[in-house]
Amino acid sequence: MKAIRPTWQPHEKHGHLTMESDLPDSVFAFPKLRKEPLTDATHVRNAVARFDQVIGVSDADRELAFANIEKAAKHYGLDLSETNGHELGVHPQQHRAEAAAKAVETKRLRGELKMAAAKAVQTKLEHGVLKAAAVKAAATRKRHAD
């Protein structure tokens, strides 16, 4: 079996909050989807914990993601007990969309949905990514409508 070469490269911005949209693809465990940023040791641990929650990826994408996680873990001085992606899990949660919809409905019933949306908009305005986020959201809506 051919060894997968990781694409991960260290990327650190100091002095201000880094928005995910500012990060290059090479920072993510799953670079095609820009999922699981590996910007520090905490994010690497998080990527390990959420590895099997990423949906819509091929086995090759998972192999690349594990290679990226492994490289980032070494860079940040973390010891992985896992030696391959199969030990992290390859069976994504089957009902994530339903769970997310239920969470949105719960926030709506509690009256928290508008406040959460307003906070998200304010954060995006502060970081200058609102227009880019709007374009991305419109493209997503169009893709789902087709």
What's the mean pLDDT in 75-91? 81
Q: What are phi and psi of 30, to 5 degrees?
A: -110, 85
Would you state the structure tokens that stand for residue 40, as one six-digit string? Answer: 């520090």
Does the structure show a pLDDT above 60 at 1?
Answer: no
Whole-number Å distance between alpha carbons of 144 and 146: 6
CB–CB of 36/73 below 8 Å?
no
Whole-number Å distance between alpha carbons of 74 and 127: 31
pLDDT (0 to 100) of residue 15:
43
Does the CA dihedral 49-54-58-60 come out positive or negative?
negative
Residue ranges per structural domain of the chain: 20-87, 110-145
pLDDT tens profile 22-45: 788 899 999 999 999 998 999 999
